[in-house]
Amino acid sequence: MDIVDRFLKYVSFCTTSDENTGMTPSTPGQMEFAGFLADELKSIGLKDVSLDSNGYIMATLESNLPSGSQVPVIGFIAHMDTSPDASGKHVQPRIVKAYDGKDVMLNEAENIVLETAKYPEILRYTGQDIIVTNGKTLLGADDKAGIAEIVTAMEYLVQHPEIKHGKVRIGFTPDEEIGQGADHFDVKAFGADFAYTMDGGAVGELEFENFNAASCKIHVHGVNVHPGSAYHKMRNSMRIAYQIAVMLPRFQTPEHTQDYEGFYHLIGMNGTVEETTLSYIIRDHDRTLFEYRKRELEHLVRKINTEYGEGTAEIEIRDQYYNMREKIEPVMHIIDLAKSAMESVGVTPVVKPIRGGTDGARLSFEGLPCPNIFAGGENFHSRYEYLPIPSMEKACQVILEIIKRIK
């Protein structure tokens, strides 16, 4: 199957993850997609295809090297879910042929426009065919483009046995977007010496540094009485929660930081007079600063409890993943391998830190070194997401070149 047709089929599945369900996978659409993928992997000729009860898929492209050849087992990993930040239901992709460098009308009826002034990166793809949304949902290139690239590369190798290669392992995970993608990934069963996640953005990206990451929930308890008799009795949890929010540094937020700078990100605020919950994510590349950020939030909660009474605010912090750099540095040859593969297909490697994370970050700490390679999309998690088709094709070529070099 053509890589574009494959991707367009994949985005028809609604696989939005949801951190509130307490299940794995967190949403039923992911298991539906996983079942489709497992059948597809069998149909293209991969072996040992497995789909477990948590929605994890593994499969093998068997070595065709002479018996007794000793080469590392390499893996490629991508995730099936899409971000809860934007709707992933009823995705309606459209291919813009030979993009002309102008604003792209995504939805004329609602005047939703992909503007070059706001998203100037799109100008790099002038003349290319680009897949866009209808402006009402995300596209799902994060990370269905990665899946399409991996599956297409495997199909090509099955159909071209003259290309000699060692054993390759494939893994597709659920719930990466909510920080749970590696929760039930069996590194031992996967059996690779090292792997790559195909989960990066623009063409050329190669990443082995990522944020240290934690999620945080602050629960604020209030007291509600009739406002006419509230004097010295009411305790409005929403006002107290707002007090916590504004005590954090104003410019240490995603919209005011870049490169290696960390942040606090308020991603949810739900409340009534009696009960309010603030949901944060905490990010920093530096482990020491990351730990400081967590302590600062705990300190603010203690201040609130000192002012309003013990138990007014409660905090829950959960570490999600750590910076994989310390696990990749001892095996930098796998970065050099990816660089040389990119260069051989005409892609300039762009080594940069991830202002986010991947399954590979956690897997690296579990004994599977796993840097990240571009999948090709732009504006992830957004209704303005788009995917240049040549970028996706280049990512597939990079996978093939990496595999060819493992001998």
Condensed to tens digits (0 to 9), the pLDDT of residues 40-94 reads 999 999 999 999 999 999 999 999 999 888 999 999 999 999 999 999 999 999 9
Supply the range of the domain harboring residue 301.
Answer: 212-321
407 pLDDT exceeds 80?
no
User: Mean pLDDT across the chain, nearest whole number?
Assistant: 96
- Domain end (from 267, 298, 321): 321
User: What is the spatial distance between Cα 130 and Cα 143, in angstroms, rounded to a whole number?
Assistant: 16
Residues 387 and 269 in one domain: no
Residues 357 and 384 in one domain: yes
Residues 23 and 123 in one domain: yes
Are residues 150 and 61 in contact, defined by beta-carbon separation less than 8 angstroms? no
The arithmetic mean of pLDDT across residues 99-107, rounded, is 97
- Domain end (from 287, 321, 355): 321
Q: Annotated catalytic sites, by residue?
A: 81, 176
Left if phi > 0, otherwise alpha if psi is -120 to 50, otherwise beta: which for 47? Answer: beta
pTM exceeding 0.85: yes
User: What is the spatial distance between Cα 277 and Cα 283, in angstroms, rounded to a whole number?
Assistant: 20
Supply the angle between the helices 333-344 and 389-405 in degrees, to the nearest 10.
130
Number of domains forming the structure of the chain: 2
Residue 325 is predicted with a pLDDT of: 93
Distance of CA 356 to CAs 4, 156, 254, 303, 318, Å? 27, 31, 11, 30, 16
354 — pLDDT class (breaks 50, 70, 90): confident
Residues 256 and 341 in one domain: no
Pick from 395, 398, 332, 369: which is nearest to 73 by CA? 369
Residues 23 and 97 in one domain: yes
Residues 13 and 145 in one domain: yes
